[in-house]
Amino acid sequence: MKKTLLTTGLVGMLLVGATAPAIAISDSASTPLPGTGAKVEANAWQCNAYVDKCSFKTSTKAKKGSSKYKVSKITNTATVKANGWQATLSLSPSGTKVSESTRRVSWTNKNTWISDISGIADPGGALNTSVTTCSDGGAFKSGVKAFASACAND
């Protein structure tokens, strides 16, 4: 599992009072798809700093080396959680309510190499401190399957 902090923009722009750079946190993990030489990769990205709302994106990809690998069925489930005391969460797309602070959205594609989800998290509640975005994915081909999971949190 690898975690990456991505930033764009120039430090000099910050020194002269320009708009703050876009910041994102990401995580990815992969698992071999047995007997195919391919792997299933789960990816999760989310904003690192936010004032009101936080964007997120998750994906599941099937790859053989660096190339796309077509599978029979590929699924991705995004689970977004607001962390903190009495935290609440609204999500767009709305998804399934797991708890007051957690929502889940799923997507399945057939005969392709990717399934992805993106949206906006709107955390609230007293002492809300952070957001966590997890990506759980699976791929199926010729009677074999594999699953991978990744979580990004600030």
Q: What is the reported pLDDT for 49?
A: 78
Q: How many domains does the chain have?
A: 1
Q: What is the reported pLDDT for 72?
A: 98
Choice among 6-20, 97-111, 131-145 with the minimum mean pLDDT? 6-20
pTM strictly above 0.85:
no
pLDDT tens per residue, range 37-92:
999 999 999 998 787 889 999 999 999 999 999 999 999 999 999 998 889 999 99
Label residue 107 by pLDDT band (50, 70, 90): very high
Q: What is the reported pLDDT for 126?
A: 66
Q: What is the reported pLDDT for 130?
A: 86
Res. 31: pLDDT tops 80:
yes
Residue range(s) defining the domain that contains residue 68: 2-153
- CA geometry: angle 118, 144, 109, nearest 5 deg: 30
pLDDT tens per residue, range 125-153:
767 678 999 999 999 999 999 999 999 98
Q: Which residue has the higher pLDDT, 53 or 12?
A: 53
